[in-house]
Structure 1
């Protein structure tokens, strides 16, 4: 039986891209008999179903990006500018996968101007007051959201391979709190999102600074105690440090509403079967519907 009070927040973008590259690395793209690519959707469903079977949520929501233009790209024009366009075979799967998610009775949530992370952050705070929350993602940015009731389920290679991050595990692994994850990224930057932080400061130095001074404010208040080289790096990139912090922080106040009543896990297997038949997912039909 599902946990009576457990919400699974799915990072749809993370799962879909992960599924696409995991199933196309050898050059073969699964398609329907009419030529519609389906490999990412197929892999997405396998990841999604495995997580549902593993964590047995009572409620499920799937969050999505709504285009590349967000408040972060307004703040910093180079934000994610290093990312190439999605592969052509993936493009038609963006809408189709949402149809599949809907067939499971799961709401698709996304807000223009924000990323899926921001929707997840907002809903985690909303639901966390009345339920336990698990964030299913490959993105370690979500570690800033964890608390006693909200845990990040970080996907590893393959199925049924997860690390469930609590504040205690984060502290034992990295020696920092969830809130310090934001300052860590501000200091060291994020190459995948294309913002530099403080040039010349990597993870090791950033962690050392945070363990000694707790926050960026603490570092700046004690900047005279730092080595001359480190002080110069921070002073040279002080504006980028503050901007990187804004870019790193996941929003928790996105204008969305999705009550628990709207996302209860109750599958209409006839609707799922209809979607699977349209996409010619014979293997998944056997896995999930029998």
Structure 2
């Protein structure tokens, strides 16, 4: 069975950028272009390729900051500062680098990379075993028998791979319940509140007991007085938070296995690496 690796481009690119930017290593080439994020991205991607040996690959990207979630909730991700100046030219550069490997770059204005990944993962999971490479735990909701999530840990080549069994062992709930978990707790990174005063521990306990947000709302009288009061005062926000937390798996993007077959021309990659002065890439090929 083909193995399809879907890469969360933004997660890898930002991780790579901040790993070196902290010490001022922007790796500026002779054309004055910073390349630290792209070089780190390629190292993450190729290390995973060498480790997991996928037969097919695609990389998904955010396309601009505004998505349908901002229309649902004005404050969505409003706490994010704009990308550092050294990062900006690397958004196009990284796509050029991915293209040199003949890997499809996929993104859709109005949606997040997560939505593209979710859509492609569900569409491909009957004909291939799908793995999602990311640092973002939001993706865990996509896990199914044929879809696993590879979480990047610190450094390069350190992975935590989750399937339905390992996820259940870890959290005690199913991947789909992850959406309700996020709706209850809120998400400070994405800037939506969920239910104020309910953290992961309480949210997990309630979901294990009642199964879903509906189950909790039907059993408010079984909760402690404080829990009941917190949830009752936030019912609308709870439903909205669930809409924000859920990855859309039906957005209009597609990528056939044929298009995603992973084989590249070494000379083309070598030329791209030399042109942009990427050092050390040859060691990963």
TM-score of the aligned structures, taking structure 2 as reference length: 0.99
Partner of 2:116: 119
Partner of 1:178: 175
User: Partners in 2 of 1:258 and 1:166 — Cα distance?
Assistant: 23
Partner of 1:74: 71
Partner of 1:162: 159
1:223-250: CA deviation from partner (whole Å, max 9, x where unpaired) = 1111111111111010000000000000
Name which of structure 1's ranges 23-32 and 10-19 shifts more when overlaid on structure 2.
Answer: 23-32
Match of 1:25 among 15, 18, 22: 22
SS in 1 for 2:176: helix
Give how far 1:288 is off.
Answer: 3.5
Aligned length: 285
User: Partners in 2 of 1:28 and 1:146 — Cα distance?
Assistant: 36
Partner of 1:56: 53
1:11-42: CA deviation from partner (whole Å, max 9, x where unpaired) = 00000000000111112211101210000001
Change (3 A) 1:186 1:221: same
Match of 1:226 among 208, 213, 223: 223
RMSD: 0.8
1:153-196: CA deviation from partner (whole Å, max 9, x where unpaired) = 00000111000001111111110100100000000000000000
SS in 2 for 1:33: coil
Gaps of 5+ in 2: none
User: Partners in 1 of 2:26 and 2:157 — Cα distance?
Assistant: 24
User: Partners in 2 of 1:159 and 1:235 — Cα distance?
Assistant: 45
Partner of 1:87: 84
User: Partners in 2 of 1:146 and 1:288 — Cα distance?
Assistant: 29
**Does 2:14 align with 1:7?**
no
Name which of structure 1's ranges 83-92 and 23-32 shifts more when overlaid on structure 2.
Answer: 23-32
Task: Write the mapping of 1:101-120 to structure 2, written as runs, cut at 5 A.
Answer: 101-120=98-117
User: Partners in 2 of 1:72 and 1:16 — Cα distance?
Assistant: 22
SS in 1 for 2:41: helix
User: Partners in 2 of 1:28 and 1:61 — Cα distance?
Assistant: 28
User: Partners in 1 of 2:228 and 2:242 — Cα distance?
Assistant: 18
SS in 2 for 1:90: coil
Q: Which runs of 4+ in 1 moved over 4 A?
A: none
Name which of structure 1's ranges 145-154 and 220-229 shifts more when overlaid on structure 2.
Answer: 220-229
Give how far 1:140 is off.
Answer: 0.4
TM-score of the aligned structures, taking structure 1 as reference length: 0.97
Partner of 1:266: 263
Partner of 2:127: 130
Partner of 2:95: 98
1:178-223: CA deviation from partner (whole Å, max 9, x where unpaired) = 0100000000000000000000100010000001001001001111
